[in-house]
């Protein structure tokens, strides 16, 4: 499928959720890299600059603020950021820094909700919309 092209970095400190997202997105045809910590996420981004179409990021990663790691991710102008959390999270600063490139996914979510959010974020944007 043409709409499943791209690599996705999944960053979450919950192993079962990390595994579920990895398996599901892999089955959809995405190349998936996983990171169980902010440190590992930064290493993956450094090892493959410009190599990810999107990052699915747990908003409450230990040892890193959402603003800090989100800003690091959005430094690449081509990456889309999907912030996932079961708690209310203010992503307005990230949205303001990268209009149209940030989305929120409320936990718990189904594989279908994850798929819909990824597809929406990676869909080509029409000019003037």
Contact 34/10 with Cβ under 8 angstroms?
yes
Rounded-to-5 percentages of helix, strand, coil across the chain: 40, 20, 40
CATH for 19: 3.40.50.2300
pLDDT at 48: 87
- In whole angstroms, what is the distance from residue 44 CA to residue 42 CA? 5
Q: What is the pLDDT of residues 21-56, one digit of tens each?
A: 999 999 999 999 999 999 999 999 999 888 999 999
Question: Is residue 76 in some structural domain?
Answer: yes
Question: Is residue 108 in some structural domain?
Answer: no
Question: Is residue 103 in some structural domain?
Answer: no
Residue with the two structure tokens 């079961």: 86
Q: What pTM does this model have?
A: 0.91
Question: Is residue 128 in some structural domain?
Answer: no
Question: Is residue 104 in some structural domain?
Answer: no
> Number of structural domains, the chain?
1
pLDDT at 124: 82
> Measuring CA to CA, which residue among 120, 99, 35, 21 is closest to residue 69?
35
Q: What is the pLDDT of residues 50-99, one digit of tens each?
A: 899 999 999 999 989 999 999 999 999 999 999 999 999 999 999 999 99
Question: Is residue 89 in some structural domain?
Answer: yes
Which range marks the domain in which residue 18 is found?
A: 2-27+37-98+114-122
Helices (H), 1-129: 15-27, 38-47, 66-74, 92-97, 111-122
């Amino acid at each position: 499928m043409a709409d499943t092209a791209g690599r996705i970095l999944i960053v979450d400190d919950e192993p079962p959720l990390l595994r579920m997202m990895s398996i599901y997105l892999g089955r959809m045809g995405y190349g998936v890299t996983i990171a169980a910590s902010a440190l590992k996420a930064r290493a993956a981004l450094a090892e493959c600059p410009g190599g990810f179409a999107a990052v699915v990021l747990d908003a409450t990663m230990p040892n890193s603020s959402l603003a800090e790691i989100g800003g690091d991710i959005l430094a690449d102008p081509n990456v889309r950021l999907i912030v996932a959390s079961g708690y209310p999270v203010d992503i307005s600063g990230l949205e303001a820094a990268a209009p149209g490139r940030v989305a929120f996914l409320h936990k718990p979510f189904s594989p279908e909700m994850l798929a819909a959010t990824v597809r929406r974020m990676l869909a080509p944007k029409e000019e003037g919309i």
